[in-house]
Every structure is written in structure tokens, then in C-alpha cells.
Amino acid sequence: MGFLTNLQDAWTFLQANLDQFVTLLTEHLTLVLVSEVLAILVAVPLGIVATRNDRAKAYILGAGNVAQTIPTLAVIALVFPLLGIGFLPALVGLFAYAVLPILTNTITGLEDVSEDTVEAARGMGMTDSEILRKIKLPLSLPVIFAGIRTSVVLNVGTAYLAFFIGGGGLGVWVIGGINLFQMEKVLAGAIPGALLAITMDSLFALVERKLGGEAGVNQQATTG
């Protein structure tokens, strides 16, 4: 049985179960996007706080790094005893995992804004909050955005594991298919996910280039 036959079987399987596919894909996307938005809302302000205070930075980065070191599956497993099963625990797990790339890039981006630029702004009479809003954030936007891009792509992959705590998503087909040796089901779940990750990545890369190009900022995007 060749790989091509597998692909054909997967396509047939997908067409036969299109309704379920749409449901799973929607779940998958919802998990990714909601956890991502939450991660952005938390990571960017945390990053700002971290650049203002060295001690806060040590704690925040420490916590973020710990969250990232735990294997993805373990994050999901850790959430389980705390929040039980279902969509919400899966969301929390994914959120915890999505925060770090955005956080580190926010910190790097803000810290990379040149001292001269900041001093010029201060010398011209900008308050700290004006310096942050008008100078530091806009200048570090391309770097922060690179962090969001990394985080989203990782997140699309991680979301497959939501299946283990009943979070739904394309993992239902992939892991279910593995358990049942149904190769067409595995592929029908895995390939759209891979395509999704690639699409997201290219899309974000496009926006990122536009952000960087428009501002004429030659900062190296640090993709974590």
C-alpha cells in the first residue's frame, strides 16, 4: 500500500466526513485563536512590566521559561486535575504554552530600541508613557509580531493534544486514527493542520514584512 493510495483514502475519508471535519477544524481554530489572543493580551503587558523592573523581569521570564520547558503533553496533563476535561482546560493549557514566545520577543523588542532614540524622546519632553506608546511600542512592533507568529505556528501543532482532555480539534482524528490504525483518518486530520500552520506562517510573515518595511526598521526579528 503506497503513500499515494493513503492520500487518496484520506481524501475520500475527508469527503465522506466533511461535516465532522468542519466541526473539528472550527474547534481547532477556536482553540488556537482564542488562546493566542489571550496570550497576546497577557504577554505584551507583562513584557512591558518586565522591561521596567529587573526583578519583575527575572520572575516573569523564569515563569515563562518553566512553562515552556514542560513538555506540551505534560502541560495538558497538569491542567487536567485542576480544571477537569473539556474546551476550557485545553484552552488554558494552550494559553500557557503560547505566552513565552510573545513575552520574550516583547522584552527583546522593547530593550532593543536604541538608547539614543529614547533619550532624544525624553529630552524633547515626552513622559514615560508617551515614550512607551509613541516610540518604544511602535519601534518594537515587528519583533513582537515575530513572537506572535512563532507562537501561533507552535500553537497549531500543540492544539492536536487538546484531544487528550476532551478539547476537540483535529487531534480527534489523528490520535483516534492512530489508535485504530486508520491511516486515512490520521492523514485527513494531520495534513489540514500542517497546511494551516504553513498558511498562518506565510500570512504572518507577510504582515511582518509590511510592518518592518513600512517603518523602515532594520531590526532583526528574533523568532524564538
Partner 1 sequence: MSTIEFDNATKVYDDGTVAIENLSFEVEEGTTTVLVGPSGCGKTTTMKLVNRLEDPTEGTVYFEGEDIETLDSIELRRSIGYVIQEIGLFDHMSVAENVATVPELKGWDAEDIDDRVDELLELMDLPPAEYRDQYPTELSGGQRQRVGVARALAADPDVLLMDEPFGALDPITRENLQDEFLDIQERIDTTILFVTHSIDEALKMGDKIAIFDVGELVRYDTPANILEDPGSEFVADFIGADRTLKQLQVTQVRDVMHRDVPATYDHLVEAVTNGSATGTDGALVPVEPSDSTQTALSRIIQAGAEAIPVVQDGRVVGIATEEAIREDTSDRRQSHEVA
Name the site residues for partner 1 (rule: CB under 8 A).
114, 116-117, 119-127, 130, 134-135, 138-139, 141, 215-218
Q: How far is the CB of 182 from partner 1 (least distance, A)?
A: 52
Q: In the complex with partner 1, which residue's Cβ is closer, 4 or 124? A: 124
Q: How far is the CB of 111 from partner 1 (least distance, A)?
A: 16
Alpha-carbon distance of 39 to 96, in angstroms, equals 8
Residue burial 90-122, b: 16+ Cβ < 10 Å; e: rest: bbbbbbbbbbbbbbbbbbbbbeebeeeebeebe
Q: How far is the CB of 222 from partner 1 (least distance, A)?
A: 18
Q: In the complex with partner 1, which residue's Cβ is closer, 19 or 116? A: 116
Q: In the complex with partner 1, which residue's Cβ is closer, 32 or 121? A: 121
86: left (phi over 0), alpha (psi -120 to 50) or beta: left
Q: In the complex with partner 1, which residue's Cβ is closer, 19 or 115? A: 115
Residues in the chain: 224
Q: Using the 8-state DSSP alphabet, how is residue 17 labeled?
A: T
Q: How far is the CB of 121 from partner 1 (least distance, A)?
A: 7
